[in-house]
Chains A and B, each alone.
Chain A
Amino acid sequence: MPVIEVEHLQKRYGDKIAVDDVSFTVDQGEIFGVLGPNGAGKTTTVECVQGLRRADGGTVRVLGLDPVRNRTEVRHRVGAQLQESQLPDKLRVREALDLYRSFYRNQADIDELLDDLGLTAQRDVAFQKLSGGQKQRLSVALALVGRPEIAILDELTTGLDPQGRRDTWELVERIRDRGVTVVLVTHFMEEAERLCDRLAIIDAGRVVAIDTPSGLLARVSTEHRVYFRPLDPVEDSLLAGLPDVTGVRRNGDEITVTGPEQVLQTVLSTLSEQKIRYTALRVVQPTLDDAFVSLTGRGVRAATSPSTDERSS
């Protein structure tokens, strides 16, 4: 059952088209990713879903409601975590939760929430004294304090260290396990791959693809690459003649064999049959980065121009 339906959404800021044509649906209970480079129109899209901006064209339905006309009802049921949103320096963790909770008719238990988000020890700490990860977790807690049916999380892990990022990913999974539908806006491929049940790739204001992470990978059918250093002599033709192998390359004493997923199996069994010893074996699988390149014709980083800011108007 879809809880969010977006059809042919369009949004302009003056002459600049932020969102050109975006359609997608989000089903209840899933983690839905909105993925794309900075400036692709991700934030504008979710702002229209939240009713913070009025669409110039197309329709948006959230829980069957118009988020602009039924804004209060939608806001009671949709929690949001905004990119780069801060709190007053001297506001303490518990005070912030207590304050934001008073805005909602369904109120979460604050102690339970603090515990879930690992902030119990920081309950009386002022916002300015929190670490980046703690601030981010508080921001998520504020999005959940009204017991929402949908949580929209925008660039949740930007600025976090790798450990903080992994902790936050676990947190997002726990939110979903509570039955909350999660919309995750991100430009990290790894994050989308790890967390999302389905995702929409947005580039230059348009949806390029909507699929599961594995569906996207299958769609681009990028090849696996097997790297190893043989310790005994081996002929290229031996490997090149194997089924599944689409290419063999040498780089110094390292050999690269490419092919579909089962190419690793083929190469390893052949090497062991021929009693060829090897070292430094590694396999590179296609990633969503490869999928993104193949779908948009450029990499996420190349598509991300430092001067682009999708919120500026």
Chain B
Amino acid sequence: MNALSKLIAVEAKLFLREPVSLFFIFALPLGLMLVFGLPQRGASEGGAGQHAELTFLPSLALGLTIGMLALFTLPMALGIYRERRVLRRLATTPVNPALLLVAQVVVNLVMGVAGAVVTAIGVRFLLDQPAPANVPGFVLAFLLGVACLFSIGLLIAALAPSARAAQSIGPTLFFPLLFLAGAWLPRDQMPAVLARIGDYSPLGATVDTIAAAWAGDSPAWPQLLALAITAVLGSVLAIRFFRWE
């Protein structure tokens, strides 16, 4: 087996040995769906706006999964690897330490997809809601959302002075992003400027495009474009500023 596939296999094992991250990915989104989704179903009949859309909650749950992986797990793991000089140790071997970053991204990505599938199945059968209708659009929106949020996570990992700092920067960024996505106050009730920012914010655009595809519509191109641009920008900056020690 070559070095990269071995690294991925080992990182996957290590990931699965952390019950906390498993809970975040597989249990929390579905739990939130059940807690908030069931009462809402009874109450929101005939309502209007962002929160009344049937696909808003499942899309938000997927956004949560991606967001937690990208902003909590990924920067934390990379921060620890830098602090413990694992990256430095790898640099003394013939293998490029960047491969460890690739392995981390791949493992978190696979876990994100697995979490999304579990959430989608849960939504379908536990909440009795339809499965995603526009599958290509759904996959595209999901992947762009992942790329965008992961690039922000990598940027945090690049800039955070310590693993502890990464651990606090992630949530500090995550909750405003959740707010902008309309998790608490629906975006149609926000001031126009704030709502517009929310539309193109990483999590807002992710949730909207996934929700649209889920309902069978085409995701909005400007929002997909915003995700792609953020992804490229974040990745370039992360690579530019990444510190190996």
Residues of A within 8 A of B (CB): 50, 52, 72, 75-76, 78-80, 82, 84-88, 90-91, 95, 98-100, 102-105, 142, 146
- The answer to the question of B89 belonging to the interface, with a C-beta cut-off of 8 Å to chain A, is yes
* A-B contacts besides A52-B88, A75-B94, A90-B17, 14 pairs, CB < 8 Å: A75-B93, A79-B92, A82-B88, A84-B85, A85-B88, A87-B84, A88-B84, A95-B10, A95-B13, A99-B7, A100-B93, A102-B2, A102-B6, A103-B93
Q: Is the CB of A91 within 8 A of B91?
A: no
User: Which residues of B sit under 8 angstroms from A84, Cβ to Cβ?
Assistant: 85
Q: Is the CB of A91 within 8 A of B14?
A: yes
What total count of A-B pairs have CB within 8 Å?
Answer: 59
Q: List 21 A-B contacts (CB under 8 A).
A: A50-B92, A52-B88, A52-B91, A72-B94, A75-B93, A75-B94, A80-B89, A82-B85, A85-B84, A85-B88, A87-B86, A88-B80, A88-B86, A90-B14, A99-B7, A99-B10, A102-B3, A103-B3, A103-B95, A146-B93, A146-B94
User: Which residues of B sit under 8 angstroms from A105, Cβ to Cβ?
Assistant: 94
Given A87-B86, A95-B10, A102-B1, A82 and B92 contact (CB-CB distance below 8 Å): yes
In the bound complex, how far is the Cα of B88 from the Cα of A84, in angstroms?
Answer: 11
In the bound complex, how far is the Cα of B93 from the Cα of A72, in angstroms?
Answer: 8
User: Which residues of B sit under 8 angstroms from A52, Cβ to Cβ?
Assistant: 88, 91-92
Q: Give the nearest-CB partner of A72 in chain B.
A: B94
Q: Classify the interface of chain B: helix, strand, loop or mixed.
A: helix
* Size of B's binding interface in residues, CB under 8 A: 22
Interface string of B123-160 (1 = CB under 8 A from A): 00000000000000000000000000000000000000
A238 to chain B, nearest CB (A): 61
User: Which residues of A sit under 8 angstroms from B92, Cβ to Cβ?
Assistant: 50, 52, 75, 78-80, 82
Q: Is the CB of B3 within 8 A of A86?
A: no
Q: Is the CB of B86 within 8 A of A85?
A: yes
In the bound complex, how far is the Cα of B10 from the Cα of A95, in angstroms?
Answer: 8
In the bound complex, how far is the Cα of B92 from the Cα of A4, in angstroms?
Answer: 16
